[in-house]
Structure 1
Amino acid sequence: MDLQSTYHEPVMLTECLDGLDIQPEGIYVDVTFGGGGHSRAILEKLTTGRLLVFDQDPDALANAEAYKNDERFTFIAANFRHLKRYLKLHKAPKVDGILADLGVSSHQINTPERGFSTRFDADLDMRMNPASEKTAREVLNVRSTAELQRILGMYGEVTNARTAAEAIFAARHNSPIETVSELKGILMRYAPKHRENKYFAQVFQALRIEVNDELSVLEEFLTQTAEVLNPGGRLVVMSYHSLEDRLVKNFIQKGKFDGQVEKDFYGNEIKPLKSITRKPIEATPEETARNPRARSAKLRVAEKI
């Protein structure tokens, strides 16, 4: 079975491997294992090295079965916000490279019952980890109008977030909003003409980020990367929307997520990483034609100072 084709094709595979600058005896981490496409390519470059991978999705655990007899491979069924704790637990407190391919896998999007896609009618779920409690359904039916407006405006950059939030609040008083088609039916009249697909993609992105606490998870993860990387170790992060990319860019450039770079008494910048990529790397036209998921990907690479 070809994991890459059945789960999803790894985006910018060559660029990710180049960014990691893999040493055959090094210790590497893939915090978004998914279908294992990136991980398989990393393993092919290792001799005595190790690869530890994270994924909280049970479907990803099934894909890891292909590597269960490889002593170099360790699967960690956890959210990568717990990076430092689990690396220590698995006797890899310091590593030589970390890869994060953020966003939703093609497999998750194409599985209707997960509720990630606007293309299928299904329950409004959107949990990366099916065992977690918060769902998109709960967010839509319980949160106040002000909270819904904040979620849609901040996480989806929905221009009419207030109007959409009020429509959701009014509709749920008649009956709970349970399915993708019900949500789309409520908001269809507010979607810009000829741009309906983009509008619903923004709404779904906002709900998914809220359900999975994605931006807080990313901040916690990035802060820990600087602590666990060996000097000269590489951080490679691929993001798919501006909110993620901004956090990654700020952390690499400033060592924090907002404000100015701190300086020591002598005026030297205090930040743990240096940027290897002046501008984010984007997929080639050939790759985007073959794999539409690559179209919005931005890849940044940094090195531990």
Structure 2
Amino acid sequence: MNIDQKYFPEFKQQLIDVGDGIKINTLVGGKGSEAILLLHGHPETHLIWRFLTPGLTGRYTVVITDLRGYGDSSKPEGLPDHANYSKRAMGDDQFTVMSKLGFEKFHGVGHDRGARVLHRMVMDHPERLLSCTMMDILPTYDMYRDTSQEFATKYWHWFFYIQGKGFPERVLAADPEYFVNYNLNLKIGPAAKSRFPKEILDEYVRCLRDPMTFHGICEDYRASATIDMEMDKADREQIIQVPVLALWGKDGVVGKLWDVMSGWQERAANVEGFAVNECGHFVPEEQPEVVLEAMLQFLAKYPA
């Protein structure tokens, strides 16, 4: 039994061609006319949703994917301007996946990098999203703008990954297992380490043993510091009208350094949310019961 069969036994896996030679690893399960797209963060894969899907599939069709550059999705060579790893390109992958599955409107849920992709998706095509759930982020533009010594220390990777092509990739690829354990343990709340068993960490390591995964990750971050910033700057006055649920770890870096609710209220007209107690960065894995209850209540307010 592979790990997907263990954690997502009722899901069907497929590689969906989204154009330009890119295939997105996709799992689909559940039932219902409404669909939810779940987008993972760094340095993980669709496995971050393993605790939430059982509570969603009875009411919704649930789609979980690996982002471009991550997991078992395609990992193209980055372009000089990083445009093929922009959040627009990564979001368009997901829109195409949902269209091919027959869903022109759907709920979006994202954690970390997945939430940054979702943020660009709702800016570009708000008509396609019924709601957005953003976990443990504020907009990339705001976080780079407000960088402090403490943030740069805790989020060192934001500044290391964007270095010249080839350098961070080579360093990171030297010991993927050490990297995964260091990176996750740095951000996991103290009460949640048992939620990350060895088989889960081993699966993340498996994906990272492909050198192109580290390249894809670095290109994702390089795009965030360059082309994504330009896109964000161009539409700073655009207010999100799609309902937003913001969740963040009370013990995490984002929650400690920013007023997350106020930050999202500046960018969106209809926001609710809260800090999740006893929780670091990995919100859907550390406190899935709290997250699931909040999501179900929120999603029910905005049916198709």
Q: TM-score range by the shorter chain?
A: 0.3 to 0.5
How does the TM-score come out when normalised to structure 2? Answer: 0.33
Bigger CA radius of gyration: 1
How does the TM-score come out when normalised to structure 1? Answer: 0.33
Structure with higher RCO (Cα < 8 A, 6+ apart): 2
